[in-house]
Chains A and B, each alone.
Chain A
């Protein structure tokens, strides 16, 4: 399967702990996005990368959140000192920008985070 993959699929952690999620995009895709989805809501944008450069960060991305995309391949999203309000589904999406046109975003299955 060459779709977007995310690991882990589920994570339960205690408040105050750090967690890290991984996203592997479709191999030729140069753009990678992170979204957060809470129960009953649509996804909300967190940040995105073009290749290895982080080009935009949402105001939702507090200083406890950090994302990286070394070498423009996989990406990691780390949450430090987790809070109960961080409980959500974290979605990754990737897309290909070609000739000034961005094609559709393909989503991964998400990582469901529960902070107890």
Chain B
């Protein structure tokens, strides 16, 4: 079974600064997807960024980018030019390509605070 570990329960960043959230995972599969989801307080979870394991190029979405290290099974999220609206819980998630296992496996989350 796959596991996802987020070792930083809380992080804080100054507005306009850069912050990196860490995620490691364990799997025996060679192809899979990795995701970062954002869950603002009392609001629904939304997808921030997605990475396909077979792609060596790191995914980027505007101010959000990932550092995907497949051999190390590491998948960190970098948020540049942090904004107050980035304050939320961030969850790293894994999804198998196996047709019988399509559910997401989530880490325990990192709470990001953005200081003005």
Contacts and interface: CB of A to CB of B under 8 A. Distances in A.
A48 interface: yes
Contacts of A106: 47
Interface string B30-50: 000001010000011111001
Interface string B74-116: 0000000000000000010100000011111111110000000
A43 B104 CA distance: 9
A40 interface: yes
Contacts of B47: 104-106
Contact of B44 (A33, A55, A110): A110
A8 to B, nearest CB: 15
A110 to B, nearest CB: 7
B103 A45 contact: yes
Nearest to A105: B104
Interface in A14-57: 31, 33, 35, 40-45, 48, 55-56
A72 interface: no
Contact of B102 (A4, A48, A58): A48
Given A33-B103, A56-B103, A109-B44, A40 B108 contact: yes
A42 B46 contact: no
Contacts of A44: 106
Nearest to B42: A109
Contact of A109 (B43, B50, B106): B43
Contact of A107 (B4, B45, B50, B105): B45
B102 A102 contact: yes
A56 B100 contact: yes
Contact of A42 (B43, B100, B109): B109
Contacts of A79: none
A40 B109 contact: yes
Given A35-B103, A56-B100, A109-B44, 4 more contacts: A42-B4, A42-B107, A45-B105, A104-B47
12 contacts: A3-B44, A40-B108, A40-B109, A41-B109, A42-B106, A42-B107, A42-B108, A42-B109, A45-B103, A45-B105, A56-B102, A56-B103
